[in-house]
Amino acid sequence: MKSKIVFYLLTGVLLFSCKTTPTPSVSVDYFIFGSAHCHCLNHCATLYKYTPAMLVKGAGESCQPADYTYNGRTLGAGAIAKAEKLLLAVPAELYAAQDTVFGCPDCADQGTFYVEVKKDGAVMSWRIDTNESDLPAFLKPFHQKIKETLEALRE
């Protein structure tokens, strides 16, 4: 009888002593991603800014990411989850790369994918050609994920 009481007591202590606190699935200050076309007149880019708390579509007219602001309403939980999946798909080789431009983005008016990550105060950004054939092998799966994510966010 004593062993049953001790068993139930220990089980209760174990169950109620475990606290789960939600933690962000990715640890960044922010993550900006999108597409841009610099051979246009206005509405030249579609950019999104993810922070662990929200995802906001950028507002701006030019193709330069620095010209965009992110003060609008946050997108829904489904969109935030898509941005988190994209952030998790950024290849380690990209973070380690010396280059910040891959392929020839927007050279033939085909546009560019823009990716920027701020983590622990350090900002890294890359311009990636939309033409997959001009990219290194390590970047092709991420290129596809960017396309899929942007298409899904447009819906």
User: What pLDDT, in 10s, does the model give residues 49-102?
Assistant: 999 889 999 887 776 777 788 888 889 999 999 999 999 999 999 999 999 999
The CA-to-CA distance between both ends of the chain, in Å, stands at 62
Indicate if the pLDDT at residue 19 is higher than 60.
no
Q: Which residues have C-beta within 8 Å of that of residue 61, sequence separation ≥ 6?
A: 42, 43, 44, 67
Q: In this structure, are residues 68 and 74 in contact, taking their beta carbons and an 8 Å threshold?
A: no
Beta bridge partners of 124: 117
Tally the C-alpha atoms within 13 A of residue 58's C-alpha that lie toward its C-beta: 25
Please tell me the CATH code under which domain 24-154 is placed.
Answer: 3.30.1560
- The pLDDT of residue 20 is 36
What is the model's pTM? 0.78
In the chain, pLDDT over 90 holds for what percent of residues?
Answer: 51
